[in-house]
A and B are shown apart, each in its own frame.
Chain A
Amino acid sequence: MIRKTGRILTAVLTGVLAISLVGCGSQNQTQSSSGTQQTSDAAVTLTGAGSTFVQPLLLQQVAEYQKSHSNVTINYQGGGSGFGIQHLSDQTIDFGATDAFMTDDQLSKAQGGKVLQLPVALGAVTLSYNVPGIPEHIKISPENLANIYFGKIKNWNDPALAKDNPDVKFPDLAIIPIHRSEGSGTTSIFTHYLSAISPDWNSQVGSGTSVNWPNPTGKALGAKGNPGVAGAVKSTSGAIGYIELAYALQNKIPYAYMLNKDGKWVLPSLEGASADAASFQVPDDMRVNIVNGPGAAAYPISGFSWALIYQNQTDKAKGTAMVNFLNWALHDGQKLAPSLSYVPLPDNLTARETAMLKTVTSGGQPLLK
Chain B
Amino acid sequence: MSTDNNRLYESMGDKTLRYVTLLMAILVVILMVWIGWQMFSSSQESIQHFGWAFITSRVWDPVHHVFGALPFIYGTIVTSVVALIIAAPIGISVAIFLNEMAPSTIRKVVAFLVELLAAIPSVVYGLWGIFVLAPVLRQSVEPWLTKWFGFIPWFKGAPVGFDMFGGGIILAIMILPTITSISREVMAAVPIAHREAALALGATKWEMIRISVLSYSKSGILGSIMLGLGRALGETMAVTMVIGNMPKISSSLFSSAYSMAAVIANEFTEATYSLYLSSCIEIGLILFGITLLLNIFARLLVWSVARGPKGGHLV
Q: Do chains A and B stick together as partners?
A: yes
Given A3-B235, A183-B269, answer yes or no on A221-B63 (Cβ-Cβ < 8 Å): no
Given A4-B287, A206-B63, A212-B60, answer yes or no on A231-B271 (Cβ-Cβ < 8 Å): no
Contact indicator B241/A236 (Cβ below 8 Å): no
Contact indicator A218/B162 (Cβ below 8 Å): no
Q: Of the 9-residue stretches B90-98, B131-139, B306-314, which lies at the interface with chain A?
A: B131-139
CB-nearest residue of chain A to B36: A5
Cβ of A93 within 8 Å of any chain B Cβ, yes or no, is no
Contact indicator B234/A9 (Cβ below 8 Å): no
A1, A220, A232 — which one has the most chain B CB atoms within 10 A of its CB? A1
Cβ of A226 within 8 Å of any chain B Cβ, yes or no, is no
Point out the residues of chain A lying under 8 angstroms from B162, CB to CB: 221, 223, 232, 236
Contact indicator A12/B38 (Cβ below 8 Å): yes
Q: Which of A247-266 contact B (CB under 8 A)?
A: none
Contact indicator B63/A1 (Cβ below 8 Å): no
**Count of chain A residues near B, Cβ 8 A:** 52
Contact indicator A181/B266 (Cβ below 8 Å): yes
Contact indicator A82/B270 (Cβ below 8 Å): yes
Point out the residues of chain A lying under 8 angstroms from B269, CB to CB: 52, 79-83, 182-183
Contact indicator A212/B62 (Cβ below 8 Å): yes
Contact indicator A211/B61 (Cβ below 8 Å): yes
CB-nearest residue of chain A to B227: A2
A203–B78 Cα distance when bound, in Å, is 33
* One of B64, B135, B246, B276 near A215 (C-beta < 8 A): B246
Point out the residues of chain A lying under 8 angstroms from B255, CB to CB: 218
Point out the residues of chain A lying under 8 angstroms from B244, CB to CB: 221-222
A209–B134 Cα distance when bound, in Å, is 27
A362–B131 Cα distance when bound, in Å, is 54
Contact indicator B135/A212 (Cβ below 8 Å): no
Point out the residues of chain B lying under 8 angstroms from A182, CB to CB: 265-267, 269-270
Contact indicator B234/A106 (Cβ below 8 Å): no
Distance of A76 from chain B, by nearest CB (Å): 15
Cβ of B231 within 8 Å of any chain A Cβ, yes or no, is yes
Given A209-B272, A232-B130, A236-B138, answer yes or no on A176-B160 (Cβ-Cβ < 8 Å): yes
Contact indicator B241/A208 (Cβ below 8 Å): no
Point out the residues of chain B lying under 8 angstroms from A236, CB to CB: 134-135, 138, 160-162
Contact indicator A4/B158 (Cβ below 8 Å): no
Cβ of A110 within 8 Å of any chain B Cβ, yes or no, is no
Point out the residues of chain B lying under 8 angstroms from A9, CB to CB: 31, 35
* One of B62, B248, B273 near A105 (C-beta < 8 A): B273
Contact mask for chain A residues 87-103; partner B; CB cutoff 8 A; 1 contact, 0 none = 00000000000111001
Given A106-B272, A210-B270, A219-B158, answer yes or no on A3-B248 (Cβ-Cβ < 8 Å): no
Q: Which of B271-290 contact A (CB under 8 A)?
A: 271-273, 276-277, 284, 287-288
Q: Which A residues are within 8 Å of any B CB, using their own CB?
A: 1-5, 7-9, 12, 52, 79-83, 85-86, 98-100, 103, 105-106, 174, 176, 181-184, 205-213, 215, 218-224, 228, 231-232, 234-236
Pull 16 A–B residue pairs with CB atoms less than 8 Å apart, ordered by A: A1-B231, A1-B291, A4-B234, A4-B284, A9-B35, A82-B273, A82-B277, A174-B158, A183-B269, A207-B63, A208-B272, A212-B64, A220-B246, A221-B162, A223-B245, A224-B126
Q: Which B residues are within 8 Å of any A CB, using their own CB?
A: 31, 35, 38-39, 59-64, 66, 126-127, 130-131, 134-135, 138, 157-158, 160-162, 230-231, 233-236, 240-241, 244-248, 250, 255-256, 258, 261-262, 265-273, 276-277, 284, 287-288, 291
10 A-B pairs closest in CB distance: A183-B270, A80-B269, A222-B245, A212-B61, A206-B63, A181-B245, A182-B266, A1-B234, A1-B291, A4-B234
